[in-house]
Amino acid sequence: MESKTIDMLIEEAKKILPNSYAPYSNVHVAAALLTESGKIFHGVNVENASYGLTICAERVAVASAVTAGERRFKAIAIVSDTPEPLPPCGACRQVLAEFANEDMLIISHSIKSGKTAVWRLGELLPYAFTQKHIEK
Ligand code: THU
């Protein structure tokens, strides 16, 4: 993927970071998801007074894309106000694996340090459990 596409996705996530609802952790996260068809979907983390009901930015973006009929993903940019780029949580890795190959690009950028990390989904979730494992 071209570096200008990576930069564009980071910018897309940055734009919506102020919408992150994180009054409990004060960790603000936004995600911009690029589909195979070239569309971009956004998400922010949405926390709740009942802490366990918090939804991560990545899964909000996935739900938005699937709602629009998109089911194949190419890359996601995660932007956070943490000191280091935030690696996606295990639940989000599993949800991304439902709609992506192991070469999906996971880009993470910290607005605090300006650092960017880039991984492949297969590195973050090796031996992913997917639909093919429940075929009989
Ligand atoms: N969070 C995300 O939005 N994405 C992740 O991959 C990790 C964590 C959010 C959840 C919670 O609102 C805050 O970051 C602190 O865990």
Catalytic residue among 12, 47, 58, 70: 58
The Å distance, Cα 136 to ligand 1 centre, comes to 35
| Cβ of residue 92 lying under 6 Å from some atom of ligand 1 | yes
Domain region containing 70? 3-133
**pLDDT, tens only, 109-127:** 999 999 999 999 999 999 9
Query: Exposed, middle or buried by CB within 10 Å (0-12, 13-18, 19+), for 134?
Result: exposed
**pLDDT, tens only, 83-106:** 999 999 999 999 999 999 999 999
Q: How many domains does the chain have?
A: 1
| Cβ of residue 58 lying under 6 Å from some atom of ligand 1 | yes
**pLDDT, tens only, 15-51:** 999 999 999 999 999 999 999 999 999 999 999 999 9
The span from the first CA to the last CA of the chain, in angstroms, equals: 36
* pTM assigned to the model: 0.97
Provide the 3-class DSSP secondary structure of residue 89.
coil
CATH number at residue 22: 3.40.140.10
| Cβ of residue 80 lying under 6 Å from some atom of ligand 1 | no
